[in-house]
């Protein structure tokens, strides 16, 4: 249709003012006369003018109002919720976001970061792919762009962080299982050389230590953080000379796998074996049996991460900050504590 786009100069000409005046109107400056403002605004609407942010950002002073978000697995509803939380805050703050899914690939993550940098993002929130190194974030940090790492850690990187309280969550969960009478409680699933894993195991260990119970290494059975990993872990656990009667699982996906594995072995989760997950994904509530799990409110975390980043962007000076997001245990059926009608009907 329009062979060339409408610019400030076009409206200036049409409205009979200078481009400077139009610019002032655009940024709602109080310097411009009411009548002039009205006339310019009318012309803007009439000609269908579209503000060109790219051009505006060219001047060195301006910061771009674009922020980058990279998550390692958007198909995981935990991260999808996280992203939605960020989206909310960024939206309302007038920012627009490049959201990308690294799919756990550091190469892809590197590409995306480079691309975002070229587009001049004002900040980055990153849920790092496994194996992310401080060097991957170095150039961003060096050029003064605030970075917030969420969920997972990037060792050695001087960036702000926002993690859930893995330690306290795991501790609470295990305390609950102890209170239910369990004396041999395993930790199942998850990849062992990650910070998250270490923290959750630490919580498990401390809860047992509190009441003078044993925390043998044989009861920590790592695997992948997935359903399949959960199945594998519980299979190995049941072969132990002193098999556990309950388990804290690395995350909900693994916990579902543990339930599958238990059934395959003729045991009913919740009745014959206590299962507790971590994350509180949406399916946890509606699964059968409903999963007892540590809720981390991913959407809330996303919101907080976004607020933290915005604070840093506005502050100018980037001062890395570490925030720990609290969690709470949600007791449902799978630990054996619940006794809702639903559970009764199925397991009685």
Partner DNA sequence: TGACAAAATTGGAACGATCCAATTAAGTAC
Partner DNA sequence: GTACTTAATTGGATCGTTCCAATTTTGTCA
Is residue 33 near DNA by the rule CB under 7 A?
Answer: yes
Q: Per rule CB under 8 A, is residue 58 in the interface with its own copies? A: yes
Question: DSSP readout, 203-217?
Answer: HHHHHHHHTT----G
With beta carbons less than 8 A apart as the criterion, state whether 82 and 127 touch.
yes
Question: Which H helix or E strand runs over 86?
Answer: helix 77-92
Residue among 62, 79, 185, 200 at smallest CA distance from 128 = 79
Name 44's Cβ contacts closer than 8 Å, sequence gap at least 6: 11, 22, 25
The SS3 of residue 342 is helix
Binding-site member from 27, 33, 60, 193 for its own copies (CB under 8 A): 60
Choices 28-36, 100-108, 243-251, 305-313 (CB under 8 A): range interacting with its own copies = 100-108
Q: Annotate each residue in 208-247 with x if it binds its own copies (CB under 8 A) or - if it does not, as one string.
A: ----------------------------------------
Residues contacting its own copies: total by CB under 8 A: 57
| Pairwise CA distance, residues 149 & 219, whole Å | 31
Q: Which of residues 45-104 bind DNA (CB under 7 A)?
A: 49-52, 55-56, 58-62
CB 245 within 8 A of CB 184: yes
Q: Does 3 bind DNA (CB under 7 A)?
A: no
Interaction between residue 33 and its own copies (CB under 8 A)? no
Q: Give the per-residue contact string, 67-86, with its own copies (x = CB under 8 A; - = no).
A: -------xx-x--xx-xx--
Of residues 114-153, those binding its own copies (CB under 8 A): 115-120, 139, 142-144
Q: How far is the CB of 70 from its own copies (least distance, A)?
A: 11
Burial of 281 (0-12, 13-18, 19+ CB in 10 A): buried
Pick the closer one to DNA by CB: 60 or 193: 60
Partner that binds at residue 87, options DNA, its own copies, none, CB closer than 5 to 8 Å by kind:
its own copies
Under rule CB under 8 A, residue 310 binds its own copies: no
Task: Please give the helix or strand (H or E) that residue 195 lies within, else none.
Answer: helix 195-210
Say which entry of its own copies, DNA, none residue 288 contacts (CB below 5 to 8 A, set by partner kind): its own copies
Interface residue with its own copies, options 54, 131, 156, 216 (CB under 8 A): 54
Which of 5, 119, 158, 344 forms a contact with DNA (CB under 7 A)? 5
> In the chain, what are the helix, strand and coil shares in percent, each to the nearest 5?
45, 15, 40
Q: Which residue in this structure is represented by tokens 């401080």? A: 134
Using the 8-state DSSP alphabet, how is residue 93 labeled?
A: T
DSSP 16-82: TS-HHHHHHHHTT-TTS-HHHHHHHHHHHHHHT----HHHHHHSTT----EEEEEES-TTSHHHHHH
Hey, which residues between 180 and 199 contact its own copies (CB under 8 A)? none
Residues 259, 261, 265, CA angle at the centre, nearest 5°?
115
Query: With CB cut-offs between 5 and 8 Å by kind, which of DNA, its own copies, none does residue 328 bind?
Result: none
Binds its own copies by CB under 8 A, chosen from 177, 287, 308, 313: 287
Q: Which is nearer to its own copies, 169 or 302 (CB)?
A: 302
Q: Which residues bind DNA (CB under 7 A)?
A: 4-5, 7-9, 17-21, 23-24, 26-27, 30-36, 49-52, 55-56, 58-62
Q: Which residues bind its own copies (CB under 8 A)?
A: 1-2, 4-5, 48, 50-55, 57-58, 60, 64, 66, 74-75, 77, 80-81, 83-84, 87-88, 91, 96-101, 103, 108, 111-112, 115-120, 139, 142-144, 256, 263, 282-283, 286-288, 299, 342, 345-346
């Amino acid at each position: 249709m329009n062979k060339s786009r409408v610019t400030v100069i076009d409206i200036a000409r049409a409205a009979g003012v200078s481009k400077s005046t139009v610019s002032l109107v655009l940024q709602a400056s109080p310097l411009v006369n009411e009548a002039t403002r009205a006339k310019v605004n009318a012309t803007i609407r009439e000609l269908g003018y579209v503000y060109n942010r790219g051009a505006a950002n060219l001047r060195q002073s301006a910061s771009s109002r674009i922020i980058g978000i990279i998550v390692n697995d958007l198909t995981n509803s935990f991260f999808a919720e996280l992203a939605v939380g960020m989206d909310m805050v960024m939206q309302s703050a007038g920012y627009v976001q490049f959201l990308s899914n690294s799919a756990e690939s550091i190469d892809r993550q590197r590409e995306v970061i480079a691309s975002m940098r070229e587009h001049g993002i004002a900040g980055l929130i990153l849920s790092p792919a496994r194996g992310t190194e401080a060097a991957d974030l170095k150039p961003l940090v060096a050029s003064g762009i605030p970075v917030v790492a969420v969920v997972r850690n990037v060792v050695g990187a001087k960036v702000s962080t926002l993690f859930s309280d893995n330690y306290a969550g795991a501790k609470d969960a295990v305390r609950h299982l102890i209170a239910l009478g369990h004396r041999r409680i395993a930790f199942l699933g998850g990849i062992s050389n990650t910070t998250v894993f270490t923290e959750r195991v630490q919580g498990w260990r401390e809860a047992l230590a509190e009441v003078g119970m044993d925390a043998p290494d044989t009861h920590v059975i790592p695997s992948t953080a997935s359903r399949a990993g959960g199945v594998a872990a519980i299979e190995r656990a049941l072969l132990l000379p002193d098999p556990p009667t309950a388990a804290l699982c690395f995350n909900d996906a693994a916990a579902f796998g543990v339930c599958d594995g238990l059934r395959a072995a003729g045991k009913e989760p919740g009745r014959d074996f206590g299962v507790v997950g971590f994350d509180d994904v949406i399916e946890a509530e509606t699964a059968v049996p409903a999963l007892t799990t540590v809720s981390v409110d991913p959407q809330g975390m996303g919101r907080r991460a976004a607020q933290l980043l915005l604070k840093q962007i506005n502050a100018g000076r980037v001062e890395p900050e570490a925030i720990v997001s609290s969690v709470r245990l949600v007791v449902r059926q799978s630990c054996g504590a619940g006794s809702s009608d639903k559970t009764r009907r199925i397991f009685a």
